[in-house]
Amino acid sequence: MKKPAQQRRKPVRRLYYSDNLPVLRKMESESVDLIYLDPPFNSSRAYNIIYPGDLGQVTAFEDTWYWTPQCDLHLQQMREGRDILVALVEAMGKVQMSAYLVNMAARLEEMRRILKPTGSIYLHCDPTAGHYLKIVMDAIFGVKNFRNEIVWCYSHGGKSKKHFGRKHDTIFFYTKGKDYVFNHRAVRIEMESGRKSFGGRLETDESGRKYRLVYGSKNKRGKTRYYKYYLDEGKLPEDYWIDINSLQSKVAERLGYPTQKPLALLERIVSASSNPGDLVLDPFCGCGTAAAAAEKLKRNWVGIDITYSAVAAIQERFRRQKLDIWGRIEILGKPNTVEEVDRQLLDHSSALYARKEFEKFCVATVGGLPNDRMGADGGVDGRIPLTTGERAVCSVKSGRVDVKAVRELAGLLKGKDVAGVLLTRQPPTSAMVKFARQAGLHRPAKKDLLAVKPFPRLQILTLEEILGGRRPELPV
């Protein structure tokens, strides 16, 4: 009697809206096959998301570090055998760079713990702190487990006239042990040669393998001979990668996220150091390039990011790729109640920062693109692109509201902004509701023989309502 077929495991698509350290500490030991991280580089810069169509911009993260009591705690908790890290901090003093390194070391310790014995880790950095991070990686993963210092070269972007153009990043490749996954055939590239390619195009054989019909030589009768050059039999890339350029501003793949890396870069890493069904982790996932590569290559994935802008950017990425998986992604750590929003977003020492985080959360939750104009946004906290080619403007209020807020929103409707959505922390007054109803409906013209139903010009949604799943009545 045949045994019943084993049930297929549900794919892991998990996104944490959180600082990565508490998440890493709760993850099971030796449960991850591949880790890729592109952390902040300690550049002392604030990185903004630039949205297309002049929809504004959002601070994605601020890459500035300070020594705090938490850094002292991390330093005390460093395990035995990490004396070199303690000595490095003591030599540097409690400055910005040492604060950055101590915070990174605490996280890398947890990453080593959760990595499988056959697993690999790729740490992406630049010359700002790369030389220090190499010491940290050697101390935590061991010098003997260092595999490559990959130099990723690119040419896009501005250049100074005071020094040579700084056009490379460094990717440190380490493994957990000496037996690890490395699929060399999966990442082979076409070998450069002096031979002339016939026809200048790729061919595919019956088995699906790609090849070029390459000119060989002439025989004694003067007849040209050709041979098939299979790409998967090409060369393994060296440790300097010059065949993958950075993303230009007008590339369709670009989401506007400040530190976005090309999908091809992550596909090479994921293909080389994991197998289908393996679990890929990106603890600083940003706009989700590693998650997108893992999804495309049929790997499971987990992403962690501390900003809600990243969650919104990943949602936009999968929407653009027409991957209908957003509803099947677990989003953990996202506030689900008014009390949780108050605690996670509004309870902050900086009232201005708290208000902007609240605005970004509300706008992104209803499917809009937030902006980041601190206190000088003219009441426009974001916009929602519509299928009609028009836009709806969003205004967010975290405090008490009255009819003045709706009147101001009505005054913002100009140009392509055909509707307004007011998102409030407090319930609206009866006067606000009445004013919104009196604004009437917007009736879009027919497009491509598809009539879009009229929708309210002014709408009011409370925080409690959007957390409960209510969305604006708009053709989004």
Helix axes 308-320, 351-365, angle to 10 degrees: 20
pLDDT for residue 205? 78
Whole-angstrom CA distances from 379 to 181, 359, 373, 402, 410 are: 53, 11, 10, 15, 11
CA 264 – CA 473 distance, rounded (Å): 38
User: Beta strand pairing status for 417-424 and 279-282?
Assistant: unpaired
CA 256 – CA 57 distance, rounded (Å): 9
pLDDT for residue 217? 63
Q: How deeply is 321 buried, as exposed, middle or buried, from its count of CB atoms within 10 A (0-12, 13-18, 19+)?
A: middle
Q: Which amino acid is at 333?
A: G
CB atoms within 10 A of CB 170: 17
Decide: helix, strand or coil at residue 84.
Answer: helix
Half-sphere exposure of 266 (CA within 13 A, CB side): 26
Alpha helix segments (H runs only) across 40-159: 69-77, 83-92, 96-114, 130-141
**In whole angstroms, what separates CA 261 from the centre of its chain?**
9
Residue carrying structure tokens 């031979």: 195
Q: Under a CB-based contact definition with an 8 Å cutoff, are residues 110 and 77 in contact?
A: no
pLDDT for residue 61? 39
DSSP states along 275-297 = -TT-EEEETT-TT-HHHHHHHHT
Q: What angle do CA 67, 70, 72 make, to 5 degrees?
A: 70
Q: What are phi and psi of 111, to 5 degrees?
A: -65, -40
pLDDT for residue 55? 35
pLDDT tens-digit readout, 251-299 = 888 876 777 899 999 999 999 999 999 999 999 998 899 999 999 999 9
pLDDT for residue 415? 72
CA 380 – CA 395 distance, rounded (Å): 5
pLDDT tens, per residue, the chain with 476 residues: 444 444 567 899 999 988 899 999 999 999 999 999 998 864 444 433 333 333 333 343 344 567 777 777 777 777 556 778 888 888 888 888 888 888 899 999 999 999 999 999 999 998 888 999 999 999 999 999 999 999 999 887 777 889 898 889 999 999 999 999 999 988 988 776 544 444 446 777 777 777 777 666 666 677 766 667 676 667 899 999 998 998 887 788 887 677 789 999 999 999 999 999 999 999 999 889 999 999 999 999 999 998 777 777 787 788 777 777 877 889 898 889 999 998 888 876 677 777 888 888 899 889 887 775 655 567 888 889 888 888 999 999 999 999 999 999 999 997 778 999 999 999 999 999 999 999 999 988 765 545 688 999 999 999 999 999 999 999 98
